[in-house]
Structure formats: structure tokens, C-alpha cells
Amino acid sequence: MLKLQNKVEFLQAYQAGVRNFQQTILTAVNLTGNNFEQINLDESNLIEINWSNCSLNQASLRKAYLGLSSFQNCCLSKANFQEANLAEVNLVQANLEGADLRAANLQKANLQGANLKGAKLDNASLVGAVYDSQTIFDSDFAPQVAGMILANPDSSQAKVKTNSDSQKNKGSLRKILSWGRSAKSMMPT
């Protein structure tokens, strides 16, 4: 197991030709815009890492824990995420074309604008993952059947509706409570 203390150590090792970072522990590091193609991060704990605009093509992150990380605009083509934990990870506009996501946990991940063409999604958990009209899937993939949520393009209307619904609910609750008080006062003692 390799425990790296900071971004500098990680970058220096990669630039020196190290590609096997299996079981690495790295937390709260900004790696934006770097190239980590063909890196092996299998079984690593990579928490709160900003990988935005990075290239991780053909990287291996099998069984990695990637909590609170961001892969926004990241090139992840043919990356291996088998059994990785990507729950609640930001994958907005990530290129996951041909990526292996079999048995990966993508619950509540943000996949808006992501390219998942040719991605292997067998047994992946996608419940609550968010996608939009720009997200690219294979034609035979049904995101809603997988439990994914279509992002509402106009969330301001949703908030207004929620607030008005909330007001209606409060009014109904007041009526129920007042009915309960009046019914109680009519009961014989």
C-alpha cells in the first residue's frame, strides 16, 4: 500500500514513470488538468480528489473508493471501474466511452452530459444517478429502468411548484388539526 502525502509526491512518481499505484491512499487533492493515462489505482482510497479535465484513458480503478471526487470533463475512455464506488461522484461531461463499469456503484452520481457509449454497465448500481438530454447511452440502454433520474432543465419551476405544494400541505394540516380540536371539544366528558 502506498500512502502519498500530497499532490507533489503523486505527480513526481507518475512523471518518473511509476504507473502502479495500487492500494494508494490520497485525500483532498486537486489534480485538475493532468495526464494519468494507463495508471493503476486498483483498490485505492481516493477521497475528495478533483480529477477535472484530466486524462485517465485506459486507467484501472478496479474496486477503488472515489468518494466526493470530481471527474468533470475528464477523459475516461476505456477506463476500468469494475466494482468501484463512484456513489455521488461528479461525472458531468466525462467521456466514459468504452469504460468498464460492471458492478460499479454509481448511485446518485451526476452523469449530466457524460458519454457512456459502449460502456459496460452490467450489474452497475445506477439508482438515483442523474442524467440529462446531453448524456449519451447505447441505444438499447434505458436509464429510467436502471433507476436513473432525468435532470429537470428548469428547476426554478420545480421550486415554485414545491413551495406552492408546501403551502397547500400546511393549509390541509391546519384544517386537520383544527378539526381534531373541535371534535375533541364536542366529545362528552
DSSP track, the chain: --B--SHHHHHHHHHTT--B-TT-EEES-B-TT-B-TT-B-TT-EEES-B-TT-B-TT-B-TT-B-TT-B-TT-B-TT-B-TT-B-TT-B-TT-B-TT-B-TT-B-TT-B-TT-B-TT-B-TT-B-TT-EE-TT-B--TT--TTTTT-EEPPS-HHHHHHHHHHHHHHHHHHHHHHHHHHHHHHHHS--
Please give the average per-residue pLDDT across 164-184, as a whole number: 44
- Average of per-residue pLDDT across 147-159: 70
What band does 165 get if pLDDT is binned at 50, 70 and 90?
very low
Where does the pLDDT of residue 160 fall: very low under 50, low under 70, confident under 90, or very high at 90 and above? very low
Residue 179 — very low, low, confident or very high, per pLDDT cuts 50/70/90? Answer: very low
Q: Which CATH topology does 1-151 take?
A: Pectate Lyase C-like (2.160.20)
Residues 6+ apart with CB under 8 A from 58: 37, 38, 77, 78, 79
The structure's pTM equals: 0.79
- The more confident residue out of 187 and 130 is 130
With a pLDDT cut of 90, the percent of the chain lying above it is: 75
| Predicted confidence band of residue 1 (pLDDT cuts 50, 70, 90) | low
Q: Which residues fall within 8 angstroms of residue 171, CB to CB, at 6 or more apart?
A: none
**Cα 66 to Cα 174: distance, rounded to the nearest angstrom:** 46
What does the block give as the cell for 108? 446518485
On the question of pLDDT at 87 being above 90, the answer is yes
pLDDT of amino acid 173 = 41
Annotate 94-133 with b (16+ C-beta within 10 A) or e (fewer): bbbbbbbbbbbbbbbbbbbbbbbbebbbeebbbeebbbbe
Query: How does residue 152 score in pLDDT terms, banded at 50, 70 and 90?
Result: confident
Query: How much of the chain exceeds pLDDT 70, in percent?
Result: 78
